[in-house]
A and B are shown apart, each in its own frame.
Chain A
Amino acid sequence: MQKVISGKTINVNDEGYLTDLTQWDKSLAQAIAQEEGIGELTPKHWDIIHYLQEQFKQEIPLSIRKISKSGVVNIEEFYALFPQGPLKKASKIAGIPKPVSCI
């Protein structure tokens, strides 16, 4: 399905995750972050977002544990930056699919 956000039309799935990462840009990420109640994205948020996108491009499955061991962010900080389901929210903002660490 399509969704209009921050003046752009993007393709998303029924849970609101982007289906095409090439449509992603920083202003879009900021707009999704507002919708998700995260507010203004800080440099730390961006570090995590870029890390998630890198992992996704390399087809590396993501999990909260992996991220907390990556050196990018520790687990408490990750929850503080993206409250209520940090990996799900961060992935949505990063424009990548909902993690399938859970099969």
Chain B
Amino acid sequence: MKKLVILGAGTAGTMMANHLQHKLDSSSWEINIIDHRQEHYYQPGFLFLPFRIYEPEDIIKTIREFIPEGVNLINDKADKIDTEGKKVLMQNGDVIHYDILIIATGCNIAPEEVDGMNGKEWGKSVFDFYTFSGALSLRNKLDEWEGGKLVIHITEMPIKCPVAPLEFAFLADSYFKHKNMRDKVEITYVTPLSGAFTKPRATATLGNLLEEKNISQINDFGIKKVDNESKKIIDYEGREVSFDLLVTIPTNKGDALIERSGLGDELNYVPTNKTTLQSLNNPDIFVLGDATNIPASKAGSVTHFEAEILTENIVRFINNEPLKEEFDGHANCFIETGDGKALLIDFNYTHEPVEGAFPFPGVGPLRLMKESRINHMGKLAFRWIYWNMLLKGNHIPFVSTAMQTEGKHF
């Protein structure tokens, strides 16, 4: 019996377990998935939690309910990967051998990377919303906050879901308007990038939205430290931004296990072939989702497209066939813009987001790069799609794995 081991049962690992359970012959392949956690969070919901658009019960289910029958869930903590011996060493001393390993250990926030970020104001006036606990304590803070300077800040790229901080800014504007206190809140968006987003045309559109919503923007800000006494963030060139409430996206890093195993780059991301998803250093290791170093967005939609291609490549690898070099960096994201509207972007390694109709060229019904209510409905419907289709490895109707160029205005 040969063994395939998946490390991590988040979005990426769970999708792979579901795909492979269908594809691999159960008489010759045993599939194991390792994760010490009990809960599976719908991570896009962390954005909505602080504003009470979602409640905790909307976004938490168990890991176990999404692992298909025939896949063995090992509910313990992995300590290290031994690539020479082809085994995963568990914290409890168990050793799990593999013939093929899939790394899906994701990424986490690392506020300790910036001087003072997790200092005495952490959880009091400095918050993150990239973790369940962070989003929840921010919600409690916002419930009672009486206004002042709100600073939304990105520490450094890459981060999981690069549009989330912008969405947070738009939703904050909308939230304070509905609470009739927008005039008491000054919102500033501080980014290490030179504009609102990473791709030129989307940057223009999103930058205009920030301006329309009276959110001021500070670009090219390379943070050096958070001063907990004076409540300021300070950059390497000495620029200072004061805050009463700082909502920051700390540095994102791959799992510490990757570092312990000596498999990561300077941010613990695993060097990965960007078209085949095979590890660059170990042919029997494949990597997907936020754990890779590929130049694609760290986002669930990207992982979904990756999982479809990786499944094919695992089968090809088993059959000694050449791998398909097909992953194109496809990302498809709804961006909440507040007041019940959203816009949609669709892009890949080579094509930046542009205007057009989606998913049917010329027809829609969704419009790319334009705010609309139907896009917002799409974003809300996505939670159902995530739990009921995406995790189970079902193909999303009409949305192709490779990005379509038809119907787009390049």
Contacts and interface: CB of A to CB of B under 8 A. Distances in A.
A75 interface: yes
Query: What band does the interface of chain A fall in when counting residues whose beta carbon is under 8 Å from B?
Result: 20 to 34
A24 B149 CA distance: 46
A61 B295 contact: yes
Contacts of B162: 102-103
Contact of B237 (A64, A65, A83, A101): A83
A103 B297 contact: yes
B266 A66 contact: yes
Nearest to B265: A66
A43 interface: no
Contacts, number: 50
Contact of A84 (B220, B295, B296): B220
Given A83-B237, A88-B194, A103 B222 contact: no
A1 interface: no
B11 interface: no
B157 interface: yes
A84 B200 CA distance: 19
Contacts of A83: 237
Contacts of A4: none
Interface in A58-72: 61, 63-66, 69
A85 to B, nearest CB: 4
Contact of A63 (B157, B193, B194, B200): B157
A84 B157 contact: no
B293 interface: yes
Nearest to B239: A84
Contact of B236 (A79, A88, A102): A79
A40 interface: no
Contact of A85 (B156, B194, B265, B293): B194
A64 B235 CA distance: 13
A102 B193 contact: yes
A102 B266 contact: no
A64 B194 contact: no
A65 B156 contact: yes
B214 interface: no
A100 B193 CA distance: 10
A92 to B, nearest CB: 12
Contact of B158 (A85, A86, A102): A102
B195 to A, nearest CB: 10
A75 B236 CA distance: 8
A69 B266 contact: yes
Interface string A70-103: 0000011001000111101000000000001111
B369 to A, nearest CB: 17
Contacts of B200: 14-15
Nearest to A64: B222
A76 B236 contact: yes
B73 to A, nearest CB: 32
A103 B198 contact: yes
Nearest to A98: B194
A101 B157 contact: yes
B236 A103 contact: no
A85 B220 contact: yes
B222 A79 contact: yes
Contacts of A85: 194, 220
Interface in B48-106: none
Contacts of B267: 63, 65
Interface string B245-280: 000000100000000000001110000000000000
Contacts of B295: 61, 100, 103
A69 B88 CA distance: 29
A74 to B, nearest CB: 10
Contacts of B192: 64, 102
Interface centre among B157, B200, B251, B267 (most CB of A within 10 A): B157
Interface of B: 156-158, 162, 192-194, 198, 200, 220, 222, 236-237, 251, 265-267, 293, 295-298
8 nearest A-B pairs in the assembled complex, by CB-CB distance = A102-B157, A79-B236, A102-B198, A85-B220, A103-B297, A69-B266, A101-B157, A100-B295
